[in-house]
Structure 1
Amino acid sequence: MLIKMEPNEYWYGGYVHDGIKQPISKADDYRCDLRFNTSPNQMMPLFLSNKGRIIYQREGYVIHFNHGVIDVPETVIFVDGQKDLRGAYLYAMKQWFPFTGSTLSDALFHQPVYNTWIELTFNQNQQDVLNYAQKLLESGMPAGVLMIDDGWSDYYGKWSFNHGKFNDPKAMIEQLNRLGFEVMLWICPYITPDTVEYRYLRDRQLLVKNHDQSVFITEWWNGHSAVLDLTNVQTISWLEDQLQALMDLGVKGFKFDGGDSLYYRTSNVTAKPVTPDEHSLLWATFAENYSYNELRVTTHAGGMSLMQRLCDKNHAWGDSGVKSLIPNSLLQGITGHPFCSPDMIGGGEYLNFLELESTSLDKELFVRHSEIAALMPAMQFSARPDRFLDGKYFQGILNGVNLRAHWIDTLMAVIKEAKRTGEPVLRYMAYVFPEEPVATITDQFMLGHSLLVAPIYEKGTEQRNVYLPKGTWLHEGETIESEGMSRIMTGIFGAPIVLELKQ
């Protein structure tokens, strides 16, 4: 099927990781293979245009935008006549990924989230976790959800605290609770081979297998592991029991890492036949049962009650770092993933981060990443700001945290609306102002329909160009009447420029 693009038409969708490359215009040659999620982030087999048109198919397909002509298989659903980007999204969402009510805890959004990964990497231990939390509070940061990352257990599949590293995990959790923190733990769907848990699961047919009935061993970023067969209800029961024992200690929920389509095979043998993408989705479906959750990669998980993080970003200014945060987060929302987190502040790629720590950590970049996240649904720190930053740089972090506190009622109201209606929390300018020439603006966003947020994301500048659609805007006590104009504005270091639209 060939679809001709309309004048001034722009398209958004597919891979969240490609948000930095969108929207797609008549000038572009862009090919996207949605048959198998090869990315480290969310994917939806959906494209929407600012002219109210929709391309969708539950099963993946190849789409080619070729200089104004869209080439798709005859089997895809093509919908026209939905007027604008918002109309297209609302139609698609109600048809194919309706929100049925989110159970996500408000705690994931109300305060910053903290993750111990960058500070402790694989050396997670009770004393250092407590020290991390205590130092955060002493520096002036507020308490929030605290995720203890990979390394807290003996090995993958034995989901209990390593007694050498955590001599009294219940007491630790109680102490963290007294300090104001709620605890989540990192887990994955992988099982370390040649362990008691591996043999138990193998003997009960609860692991993914090869055609010859041997146990399938996948290679992922931490080595070689067996994989839970999530199509088997007995596997689900086993995993639920492991996690319930942790929750009985006071753990609130889990960071569900892994489960990437890339780590399954089409030749896998499971209790019920599934594709790699479908098996990946089962990991997300399991995670949805927990009100405290976080995922990084899903396929066709639009409409689900999941806090979805962008993949690990480099400590860099360009497309692999902070420049991609706003465009990719916006694409998350328009493809049905409104509860987004723009990675760990400063960069979640820990090897990259550690290499720079002793030589060339960019303090300004750290603060600007924080600024971008300040009014996004989740604001997640891992590297402890006070350990790396001082003076105006640490104050910049506090500026962003304080701005979030100032607007928290507005942010939580938009999140509550998103839970009910499925509309994005962060919205493209074209989503809110379809009559304005804003389809290509992806470096500023609307928080709901009333707040325009414009972070500074380029090195060495304190100003940026902000497009103000028609209307009356308030900015730090100033009233601005706009007929649709661009304006150079200066922000407070670490806090994005925020303008409120008066109806």
Structure 2
Amino acid sequence: MKFTDGYWQLRPGVSVLRPGTVESVEPDERGFTVFAPSGQITGRGDTLNRPVVTVRFFSPAAGIVGVTIGHHSGGLPREPHFGLTTDDGFPVAVDITGITASLTTGELTARVALVDGWRVEFLHGDRLVTASTARSVGIVTDGEGRRYVHDRLALGVGETVYGLGERFGPFVKNGQTVDIWNADGGTASEQAYKNVPFYLSSAGYGVFVDHPEHVSFEVGSEVVAQTQFSVEGQSLTYYVIDGPTPKDVLRRYTALTGRPAKVPAWSYGLWLSTSFTTSYEEKTVTEFVDGMAERDLPLSVFHFDCFWMRQFHWVDFVWDPAMFPDPEGMLRRLHERDLKVCVWINPYIAQRSYLFEEGRQAGYLVRNPDGSVWQWDKWQAGMALVDFTNPDAVRWFTGKLKVLLDMGVDCFKTDFGERIPTDVVWHDGSDPQRMHNYYSYLYNKAVFELLETERGKGEAVLFARSATTGGQKFPVHWGGDCESTFVAMAESLRGGLSLAASGFGYWSHDIGGFEGTPDPAVFKRWIAFGLLSSHSRLHGSGSYRVPWAYDEEAVEVLRHFTRLKLSLMPYLAAAAQEAHRDGIPMIRPMVVEFPDDPATAQLDRQYMLGSDVLVAPVLSADGQVTYYVPAGTWTHLVTGAQVTGPAWVTEKHEFDSVPVLARPGAVIPFGARSDRPDYEWADGVQLRLYAPAPGQRQRVRIPAPGDGPGAEFDVSFRDGVATAELVAGTSSGYDCVVAGAEVVGR
């Protein structure tokens, strides 16, 4: 939100209190509190009618400084809050002199000037990373009497900002106004399904604003040399998170807010959907599954979208008897074909659903202030909203889902959860503004924890659309409703890269796009992009997404890239383990992996899949693509051709090809199978070295698809020969080669 009219003036009706000087500092065990009147205090008379801004500095974990700015502190507590994992067992150093007060945690220091006006510096060691200066802090009153608090942190020359959730506009957020407010707005606007009040800076730090309600960011868009963030109310809490690398920031941020859960091995395979408004019954489903098998297209999951239930009944979790008269038998038959089953759900209860009256009488639905059930007609006629702040409502809702699990369903697509009203009353008294975004967290948490209980940890997986901070704990998330065009394909990628920069470890999108029917060129290009993402789903709105509906070449393209992904499972599993263990996403913006290469700062049409594989989706019908490779010799995984960087490369690719290159010196493990994702990844693995350096030696770890030990290899390259030694775990056989055209397509 903007409060100023240019640099010198405030907007009409706006008044601002700012800290003018530091009157005193009070230390505590974990930090200190600064009392800063709004003007100079030269005598006792100056203390009268003088507002004071109170700012506390503290550290919730090593390398993180928390800042709480407050004015009047007598307000009632407001729930909910983000659940943060803090650590008081590390040392902090507080140093107060006559000139400065400083708090040091790890290598990060917050240093407050005690003389000559307001200034707070955040330093990594001796290096200044950002600062809050004289006009940064504001306690604002607008023309309607509403109160806001803001701070502004300095942007250095050339500094770029990323993240703030899933955002489909420019990947670099400089110059943008970003409102953290979940919305069902598609992928072609400034709205987003997944809003996260966290940004990642190229200067080696991150900022997390600890407010689940509406947070407004002005990233160099109100004051061009500062990022401003503001919330309504009388206090603002944020955290400066130390690097120095983007990965270090993400590790600390996800340790604070939650790491992605481990997802089952089968979920990395190909998912096929009925699509949304298409006509389908068991016969249709069987024809699709048969068609995939007849064309030798590996399939892992079949998804039933909304109309598995009767129209106007969403959700009642009852199979449409006209279309699916024998759901238990159908699910059994799909399982006999070694398929997992996903079904669509949402947290909305249509008035026609039998659950509406059941939920109304029990008090499980969100209510208006007068006690009536909140309802509207958007999406489903007379729909109401499940109140996930009520533990009994959670048990009621998940109990209905358990019936489906007992029937044979394996996982859920948790759609919607963004259009949450703010003029309602919640069971636990939560503030409606704070619940708008936070609802997505409670919704996905309830379903994910049910799956963990019923299927076991490591076997739970969602296909979720809405999220906020902490939602990364309940994977997987997909990019929402995009159009079926090359432009929308690029939008989706920008959304995924921004989400990755916000701490989300896994990500997917609708292959071919959702709205409309893609032409064959778009569909085939999107196949490569989709299969080189962490999770891969064929899904659309009004038309089927089976490849033979487009042309026979689409079948060949899908087979090629599905088998490529499945053969890469030992590598992808290691990247997924890093996401689960350290919070480093599987799909990574180039700047996260190469922060010291200035050419990567703006790159949003390519990405790293794990640490060692570069992917540049083809976003044109003619197959021409331009991408950037950092320094060293990069090798095409499929052809063995090499490219030396740093360089911009322009190539033309047929539909069965895409730039997918191994990093110089990388060891990429290829599995022995390409027909399914959940095999023993270390058995028969081939360890391929790409452009190795003489004398290179490194440890390669391959997880097991379940809870087994996996395998660890010492890989070395000497005198032109690559060798590997199994040093831990088990493998029924392995070999090691220097990659080239002769080993491609094993």
Contact 1:122 1:150 (8 Å CA) reproduced: no
CA apart distance, 1:497: 1.3
Q: TM-score, normalised by structure 2?
A: 0.61
Aligned equivalents of 1:427, 1:123: Cα separation in 2 = 37
Equivalent residue, structure 2, for 1:287: 447
> Structure 2 residue aligned with 1:346, among 509, 512, 515?
512
CA apart distance, 1:302: 4.2
The one-letter amino acid paired with 1:24 is K
Look at both structures and tell me which one has the larger radius of gyration over its CA atoms: 2
> Are the structure 2 counterparts of residues 285 and 220 from structure 1 closer, same or farther at C-alpha, using a change threshold of 3 Å?
farther
Contact 2:506 2:535 (8 Å CA) reproduced: yes
Contact 2:297 2:558 (8 Å CA) reproduced: no
> Structure 2 residue aligned with 1:105, among 264, 271, 274?
264
> Structure 2 residue aligned with 1:378, among 516, 532, 535?
535
Deviations 1:347-378 (A, max 9, x none): 112xx33xxxxxxx411011111111121011
Deviations 1:288-346 (A, max 9, x none): 2221311111122343131101011101222xx1111222111121212221112x211
> Structure 1 residue aligned with 2:478, among 309, 314, 325?
309
Equivalent residue, structure 2, for 1:464: 625
Aligned equivalents of 2:422, 2:280: Cα separation in 1 = 32
Equivalent residue, structure 2, for 1:61: 215
Aligned equivalents of 1:51, 1:146: Cα separation in 2 = 44
CA apart distance, 1:385: 3.1
Aligned equivalents of 1:117, 1:480: Cα separation in 2 = 40
Equivalent residue, structure 1, for 2:21: none
CA apart distance, 1:222: 3.8
> Are the structure 2 counterparts of residues 483 and 137 from structure 1 closer, same or farther at C-alpha, using a change threshold of 3 Å?
closer
CA apart distance, 1:232: 1.2
The one-letter amino acid paired with 2:420 is Y
Matched, 1:48 2:175: no
> Structure 2 residue aligned with 1:264, among 384, 396, 421?
421
Equivalent residue, structure 1, for 2:171: 22
- Computed over aligned residues only, the root mean square deviation of the Cα atoms, in angstroms, reads 2.2
Instruction: Give secondary structure in 1 for the equivalent of 2:560.
Output: helix
Identity across aligned pairs (percent)?
21
> Are the structure 2 counterparts of residues 82 and 196 from structure 1 closer, same or farther at C-alpha, using a change threshold of 3 Å?
closer
Instruction: Give secondary structure in 1 for the equivalent of 2:308.
Output: coil
Instruction: Give secondary structure in 2 for the equivalent of 1:340.
Output: coil
CA apart distance, 1:194: 4.7
Aligned equivalents of 2:595, 2:568: Cα separation in 1 = 25
Instruction: Give secondary structure in 2 for the equivalent of 1:200.
Output: helix
Aligned equivalents of 2:155, 2:428: Cα separation in 1 = 44
Instruction: Give secondary structure in 2 for the equivalent of 1:424.
Output: coil
> Structure 1 residue aligned with 2:285, among 117, 121, 129?
129
Deviations 1:425-477 (A, max 9, x none): 011111111111211111111111111111211232x2322211112322246
Equivalent residue, structure 2, for 1:358: none
Instruction: Give secondary structure in 1 for the equivalent of 2:565.
Output: helix
Counterpart mapping for 1:413-432 below 5 A? 413-432=574-593
The one-letter amino acid paired with 2:499 is Q
Equivalent residue, structure 2, for 1:198: 356
Deviations 1:25-75 (A, max 9, x none): 4xxx31112256574521110111111122221214211122333223483
Q: TM-score, normalised by structure 1?
A: 0.89
Equivalent residue, structure 1, for 2:240: 79
Aligned equivalents of 1:225, 1:412: Cα separation in 2 = 41
Aligned equivalents of 2:573, 2:648: Cα separation in 1 = 29
Matched, 1:149 2:301: no
Equivalent residue, structure 1, for 2:72: none
Aligned equivalents of 1:188, 1:388: Cα separation in 2 = 29
The one-letter amino acid paired with 1:51 is A
Counterpart mapping for 1:209-248 below 5 A? 209-248=367-406
Return structure 1 stretches of 4+ with deviation > 6 angstroms: none
Aligned equivalents of 1:94, 1:114: Cα separation in 2 = 34
Q: Choose 479-488 or 399-408, whichever is displaced more.
A: 479-488
Equivalent residue, structure 1, for 2:699: none
> Are the structure 2 counterparts of residues 182 and 469 from structure 1 closer, same or farther at C-alpha, using a change threshold of 3 Å?
same
The one-letter amino acid paired with 2:258 is P
Q: Choose 396-405 or 203-212, whichever is displaced more.
A: 396-405
Instruction: Give secondary structure in 1 for the equivalent of 2:592.
Output: helix
Contact 1:104 1:293 (8 Å CA) reproduced: no
> Are the structure 2 counterparts of residues 480 and 138 from structure 1 closer, same or farther at C-alpha, using a change threshold of 3 Å?
closer
CA apart distance, 1:76: 4.8
> Are the structure 2 counterparts of residues 149 and 478 from structure 1 closer, same or farther at C-alpha, using a change threshold of 3 Å?
closer
Aligned equivalents of 1:445, 1:281: Cα separation in 2 = 27
Contact 1:341 1:379 (8 Å CA) reproduced: yes
> Are the structure 2 counterparts of residues 399 and 492 from structure 1 closer, same or farther at C-alpha, using a change threshold of 3 Å?
farther
Instruction: Give secondary structure in 2 for the equivalent of 1:324.
Output: helix
> Are the structure 2 counterparts of residues 36 and 16 from structure 1 closer, same or farther at C-alpha, using a change threshold of 3 Å?
closer
Contact 2:207 2:241 (8 Å CA) reproduced: no
Instruction: Give secondary structure in 1 for the equivalent of 2:595.
Output: coil
Aligned equivalents of 1:34, 1:21: Cα separation in 2 = 16
Contact 2:309 2:318 (8 Å CA) reproduced: yes
> Are the structure 2 counterparts of residues 194 and 457 from structure 1 closer, same or farther at C-alpha, using a change threshold of 3 Å?
closer
The one-letter amino acid paired with 1:32 is V
Contact 1:145 1:183 (8 Å CA) reproduced: yes
Aligned equivalents of 1:104, 1:56: Cα separation in 2 = 26
The one-letter amino acid paired with 1:153 is M
CA apart distance, 1:478: 4.1
CA apart distance, 1:282: 0.9
The one-letter amino acid paired with 1:458 is S
Equivalent residue, structure 2, for 1:486: 648
Matched, 1:33 2:202: no
> Structure 2 residue aligned with 1:327, among 485, 494, 503?
494
Contact 1:464 1:488 (8 Å CA) reproduced: yes
- Structure 2 gaps of 5+ residues are 1-135, 137-151, 185-190, 452-459, 666-746
Counterpart mapping for 1:372-411 below 5 A? 372-382=529-539, 383-411=544-572
Aligned equivalents of 1:391, 1:194: Cα separation in 2 = 43
Instruction: Give secondary structure in 2 for the equivalent of 1:338.
Output: coil
Instruction: Give secondary structure in 2 for the equivalent of 1:22.
Output: coil
Contact 1:372 1:457 (8 Å CA) reproduced: no
Contact 1:40 1:296 (8 Å CA) reproduced: no
How many residues are paired up?
480
Counterpart mapping for 1:179-194 below 5 A? 179-194=337-352
The one-letter amino acid paired with 1:56 is F
Instruction: Give secondary structure in 1 for the equivalent of 2:164.
Output: strand
Instruction: Give secondary structure in 2 for the equivalent of 1:294.
Output: coil
Instruction: Give secondary structure in 1 for the equivalent of 2:261.
Output: coil
> Are the structure 2 counterparts of residues 151 and 102 from structure 1 closer, same or farther at C-alpha, using a change threshold of 3 Å?
same
Instruction: Give secondary structure in 2 for the equivalent of 1:365.
Output: helix
Equivalent residue, structure 2, for 1:357: none
Matched, 1:171 2:329: yes
Aligned equivalents of 2:430, 2:209: Cα separation in 1 = 20
Aligned equivalents of 1:240, 1:117: Cα separation in 2 = 25
Q: Which structure has more helix as a fraction of its residues?
A: 1
Aligned equivalents of 2:192, 2:176: Cα separation in 1 = 19
> Are the structure 2 counterparts of residues 247 and 72 from structure 1 closer, same or farther at C-alpha, using a change threshold of 3 Å?
closer
Instruction: Give secondary structure in 2 for the equivalent of 1:86.
Output: helix
The one-letter amino acid paired with 2:501 is I
> Structure 2 residue aligned with 1:369, among 526, 532, 536?
526
The one-letter amino acid paired with 2:574 is A
